[in-house]
Amino acid sequence: MKKRNLLLGILITITSISTYAQQATKSKTDTIPLKYGSHRTGNRTDADMERWRSYGLGQFIHWGVYAIPGGHWEGKSYNGAAEWIRSWSGVSAPANWRTTYDNLYKQFNPTDFDANKWASQAKDMGAKYVIFTTKHHDGFSLWPSKYTDYNIANTPYKKDIVKQVVDAYDAQGIDVYLYFSIIDWNHKGYVSAVPKTEADSVAYEDFKQFTRNQLIELLKNYPKAKGLWFDGTWDAAWVKQSKFADDLEKELRALHPGLIIGSRFRADENGKRHFDSNGKMMGDYEQGWERKLPTNIEVLNGRDWDCVMTIPPNQWGYNSDWKSSYIKTANDLTDMLLNAVSMNGNLVVNFGPDGNGNIRSEEAHTAAKLGEWTKLNGEAIYGVRYSGLPKPDYGYYTKKDNKLYLTILNKPVNNVLRLTIPNSFKQKPTSAFLLNGKSQLQITTVDMGMSGDANVYFDIQLPVSLNTTSPFVVTIELNETKTNGKSFGDAKT
């Protein structure tokens, strides 16, 4: 009997040791070994990234040869985003369209282009950074690249546009990020599918070196740029280049300390983009929020991110016909801006100047309206963070130190803002002001008398005379206080 128990004990011990060993091995094997995945854990904490985090609002500019047709040619309309017009094909396309497009650069002469005017307009709008298309998918380089003839130097305009943009925006204190498309429809070696023949592979290797050369050239020519904004990186051919892209990213970072690159540049060896096979973000911030916003802060998992947004539904380059689309208003964009900053993101609003270098009147109007708003209310959007509070129905919270900003897009009919503050939130509202007018607002604690309630309530009285059609901000000072809005003991049930 004793012998049997001993054997049983040994068996149990062996089983539990092996279960533990299995668990240990499992957690080791849970992490997939990667050479070209993410090289960092957590967010960057250096000064350049801190600055990026404080931007709040940015401007995107899509400009290139596609601005000449502006989505239309010979009375025909391209049914896609105007900057993609080169890929127009089929019966709806004008005859010999590709050839026509590939020769359009010979007409590119934007004599109205004034980088200082754009930059001062962006400054007035309240943009803290700009992302500028140095080269879109068509391959046309807006700088005099040594590596292709398809560049600005060979147009009637001749002058380096990237340099003018970088200098003008930098002079206004707006940080510049260079948009660069890996897709390049003009380069002979470029293919989207993985090359199958030896000749295609050789040509693609040439394309990769060309890409590397152009990127190094951009960073050397324009050292004031703060980062690179990559696009067109979804092709199967590029997704296969995990080692090349990883080496190149390291090379670019070494060349330009502090360089900021989003999660859209490269894939890991298993073809995973943005997030590697272990779910770690590849890049300094999440770059997948194009024309969409996260539904809540939890989905972001603490990552840095920005959202790039068009004013019409999906047109980035100049499209001469905006009549048939909904055009976002400045209030729509303010809503999106607050939505983004309230969850630690930046909002980047896109502009598509025309073929002469003019920013269209609708965009100029939107920029001016946004500017009126950011001038008065900038405190609520720059350098602020997620408040830690549930989103209020009135609008959005942002927070900086002991100041809570409530940007109101839905004003209550009774002019009373009721703040619902969880008991677990250490700080409580102690005073409130209208940010624009700086006038103090009455704030009172509210005893709802609800047993077991997890929240406390505060009412802020808005002036009845406040009659506005724009979002406005209430600044709320927070202090650590024992005030919990409850004055009676809870019943024992």
Contact residues for ligand FHN, defined by CB under 6 A: 62, 81, 83-84, 231, 290, 308, 316
Rounded to the nearest whole angstrom, what is the least distance from the CB of residue 264 to ligand FHN in the complex? Answer: 8
Rounded to the nearest whole angstrom, what is the least distance from the CB of residue 58 to ligand FHN in the complex? Answer: 12
The residue among 366 and 475 lying less far from ligand FHN, judged by its C-beta, is 366
Dihedral over Cα of 53, 54, 59, 64: its sign: negative
The residue among 62 and 208 lying less far from ligand FHN, judged by its C-beta, is 62
From the list 284, 274, 203, the residue with the least C-alpha distance to 237 is 203
Helices marked H in 231-286 — which ranges? 236-239, 242-255
93 burial via Cβ count (<10 Å: 0-12, 13-18, 19+): middle
Rounded to the nearest whole angstrom, what is the least distance from the CB of residue 75 to ligand FHN in the complex? Answer: 24
The residue among 267 and 443 lying less far from ligand FHN, judged by its C-beta, is 267
The residue among 317 and 395 lying less far from ligand FHN, judged by its C-beta, is 317
The residue among 310 and 334 lying less far from ligand FHN, judged by its C-beta, is 310
The DSSP symbol for 455 reads: E
Distance set, CA 328 to CA 77, 321, 349, 411, 420 (Å)? 22, 15, 11, 21, 31
Contact (CB, 8 A) for 92 and 76? yes
Rounded to the nearest whole angstrom, what is the least distance from the CB of residue 238 to ligand FHN in the complex? Answer: 14
Dihedral over Cα of 164, 165, 166, 167: its sign: positive
Rounded to the nearest whole angstrom, what is the least distance from the CB of residue 415 to ligand FHN in the complex? Answer: 41
The residue among 134 and 387 lying less far from ligand FHN, judged by its C-beta, is 134
Retrieve residue 124's tokens.
């007035």
Rounded to the nearest whole angstrom, what is the least distance from the CB of residue 346 to ligand FHN in the complex? Answer: 14
Rounded to the nearest whole angstrom, what is the least distance from the CB of residue 179 to ligand FHN in the complex? Answer: 7
Rounded to the nearest whole angstrom, what is the least distance from the CB of residue 134 to ligand FHN in the complex? Answer: 12
The DSSP symbol for 273 reads: B
Rounded to the nearest whole angstrom, what is the least distance from the CB of residue 133 to ligand FHN in the complex? Answer: 7
| Residue sitting closest to ligand FHN (CB) | 316
- CB-side neighbour CA atoms (13 Å) of 305: 30
As a residue count, the chain comes to 493
For 428, phi then psi, to 5°, come to -130, 150
* Residues contacting 491, CB < 8 A, separation 6+: 451
The residue among 275 and 316 lying less far from ligand FHN, judged by its C-beta, is 316
Coil, strand or helix: which one is 61? Answer: strand
The residue among 235 and 251 lying less far from ligand FHN, judged by its C-beta, is 235
**What CA dihedral angle connects 412, 418, 424 and 430, to 10 degrees?**
120
The residue among 187 and 399 lying less far from ligand FHN, judged by its C-beta, is 187
Residues forming a β-bridge with 440: 433
Contact (CB, 8 A) for 37 and 268? yes
From the list 140, 67, 16, 27, the residue with the least C-alpha distance to 354 is 67
d(C-alpha 237, C-alpha 193), whole Å: 5
Rounded to the nearest whole angstrom, what is the least distance from the CB of residue 45 to ligand FHN in the complex? Answer: 27
* Residues contacting 239, CB < 8 A, separation 6+: 233, 267, 271, 273
The residue among 350 and 374 lying less far from ligand FHN, judged by its C-beta, is 350
